[in-house]
Amino acid sequence: MNLTHRKQCIMCKGELETMYKLKKFPIYMGVSTPNVEDKYSDKVFATCKDCGCIQLEKLIPLDILYNKSHNSAIGKVWEQHHNQFCDFVKNHTYGNIVEIGGGNLKVANTIAKNKAVKKITVFDKFFPFDKKSDKIVLQNTFFDSSLIHEKLDGIIHTHLIEHLYNPLEQIKEIADNLKEGGLMMFASPLIDEMLKDNYTNAMNFEHTYLISEKMIINILNHAGMEFVSKKYFSKHSAFFIFRKNINLNFKISHDYSNDFNIIKGFFDFHEKEVERIKSQIDTDRNNTFIFGAHIFTQYLLGFGLSEDLFLNILDNDPAKQNNKMYGSKLEVKSPKILKDIEKPLVVLKAAMYTEEIKKDILENINPNTRFIL
């Protein structure tokens, strides 16, 4: 596997300096496909000496990183997110629209109901769900400007911007396809806020830089886009609308000097957190589980928590169940297996989804379940 190495800062082109390394980290957030060898890479965090932007130095080739669908969006939180986003943009969607990375079609199927919308072209590598309107055109590929033959009235993306390897250049390339006055409507995590709360799904091989609200504005201004409105879905996620305006002279200042303290706090917390979890684990492995065949568990293992402490990994996604988590020997099971265990113990560190998962287990599976949160 030939890795790409960032040689300069993605925001100001300054010099990078390594600050932290997690060795031999699994490259994929999910489960392993049978007969396919899991791949690993050191996860190397760097800081820019000039502007302070935190980013990963080593990047996984896109065709390897995204060789499986990432569009399941399981759970009430994601359902609420997509519903609120569609409500946020509904009065701004009309004419010819492109959605990037919307393979689950949750947004496109809703937006297509708007009579003012003529066509929605959706770019994605995977389409696990069916389209519900003839207005929707599917492009089974990463975004490609050469496949757009007329200027667009709107561009939509939800949780795409944090996945870009070169956000300044790529958002500008995307914005160049808009008409003057056209709108870019999108949802983004606020990774700085996620890290402050020690969420392990904040930065990883897919989210390779510490994006903040300030950085989002700088990226969009660089693309000739002026701010229109925003709405917070939560403390950790927000919706934005920007308008193309080539006549404005945007002044951009790259200063992310506080990001170093944010990411250092995240590392310090998890080194101590793993020791805390170890001290509370039952000696009976057959009663002990960890939730999430995803980055939540991979990070805990990466910081030194042994997988030998657990019988299984639990996950609500049927597509993951009865496989093993990528980078681990642990088999993934439905939380329903807790029903027949007298007092199961579950390590549950699932960021913003924790309370939803805990509530479901206690109310619908086993009220005697104990948790390490």
50 inside domain:
no
* Domain boundary pick from 194, 222, 247: 247
Query: What is the per-residue pLDDT for 72?
Result: 52
Residue 202 shares a structural domain with residue 346: no
Q: Are residues 338 and 228 in the same domain?
A: no
Q: Are residues 242 and 138 in the same domain?
A: yes
Q: What is the mean pLDDT of the chain?
A: 94
30 confidence band (pLDDT: 50, 70, 90): confident
How do strand 345-347 and strand 370-372 relate by DSSP bridges?
A: parallel
pLDDT of residue 7: 92
Task: Considering only residues 37 and 313, tell me which one the structure prediction assigns the higher pLDDT.
Answer: 313
- The residue among 219, 247, 275 that closes a domain is 247
Q: In terms of domains, do 322 and 239 share one?
A: no
Please tell me the distance from the alpha carbon of residue 44 to that of residue 21, in angstroms, as a whole number.
Answer: 5
Looking at residue 220, its pLDDT comes to: 97
For residue 363, give the CATH number of its domain. 3.40.50.720
Residue 259 has pLDDT above 80, yes or no: yes
pLDDT at 68: 67
Give the pLDDT confidence score for residue 246 in this predicted structure: 85
The per-residue pLDDT for range 177-233, each reduced to its tens digit, is 999 999 999 999 999 999 999 999 999 999 999 999 999 999 999 999 999 999 999
Distance (Å, rounded) from C-alpha 195 to C-alpha 259? 10
Q: What percent of the chain has pLDDT over 70?
A: 98
Domain that holds residue 344: 283-372
**How confident is the model over 6-19, as pLDDT tens digits?**
999 999 999 999 99
Model confidence band, residue 2 (pLDDT cutoffs 50, 70, 90): confident
- Kindly indicate the confidence band of residue 69, based on its pLDDT and cuts at 50, 70 and 90: low
User: In the prediction, which pLDDT does 35 show?
Assistant: 74
Residues 101 and 208 placed together within one structural domain of the fold: yes
Closest CA to 19 of 1, 44, 50: 44
Instruction: Record the tokens describing residue 325, joined without a space.
Output: 């988590």
Q: Do 216 and 102 belong to one domain?
A: yes
In whole angstroms, what is the distance from residue 255 CA to residue 218 CA?
A: 10
What gap in Å lies between CA 350 and CA 74, rounded to an integer? 13
Residue 177 placed within a domain: yes
**Are 166 and 99 within one domain?**
yes
Asked whether residue 55 is assigned to any structural domain, the reply reads no
What is d(CA 252, CA 226) in angstroms, rounded to the nearest whole number? 12
Residues 289 and 237 reside in one and the same domain: no
| Shared domain check, 303 and 238 | no
Asked, for residue 203, whether it belongs to a domain, the answer is yes
The DSSP bridge partners found for residue 55 are 46, 209
Task: Give the pLDDT confidence of 40-61 residue by residue, as tens digits.
Answer: 999 999 999 999 999 999 999 9
The pLDDT of 77-99, averaged and rounded, is 95
Q: What is the pLDDT of residue 229?
A: 97
Distance in angstroms (rounded) separating the CA atoms of residues 59 and 3: 6
pLDDT at residue 74 in the model: 56
Instruction: Identify whether residues 90 and 204 lie together within a single domain.
Output: yes
Counted domains in the chain: 2
By the 8 A CB rule, do 53 and 15 touch?
A: no
User: How high is the pLDDT of residue 32?
Assistant: 87
Strand-pairing partners, residue 99, are: 122, 156
* CA contacts within 13 A on the Cβ side of 88: 24
Inside any domain, residue 160 = yes
- Are residues 102 and 238 part of one domain? yes
Is 65 domain-assigned? Answer: no
* Interval 318-334: pLDDT, tens: 989 999 999 999 999 99
- Does 75 have pLDDT greater than 80? no
Tens of pLDDT, residues 147-165: 999 999 999 999 999 999 9
Do 293 and 236 reside in the same domain of the chain?
A: no
Measuring CA to CA, which residue among 218, 212, 222 is closest to residue 55?
212
Residue among 372, 357, 355, 344 at smallest CA distance from 317: 357
The amino acid that residue 328 corresponds to is S
Question: CATH number of the domain that 108 lies in?
Answer: 3.40.50.150
Q: Give the residue from 67, 29, 31, 30 showing the smallest Cα distance to 323.
A: 31
Q: Mean of the pLDDT values across residues 284-306?
A: 95
**What does the pLDDT read at residue 49?**
97
Q: Which of 68-72, 127-131, 181-185 has the lowest mean pLDDT?
A: 68-72
The pLDDT assigned to 337 comes to 97
The amino acid present at 92, given as its one-letter code, is H
Rg of the chain (C-alpha set) = 21
**Region 347-364: what's the mean pLDDT?**
95
For residue 324, is it within any domain? yes
Evaluate if residue 124 carries a pLDDT over 60.
yes
225 in a structural domain: yes
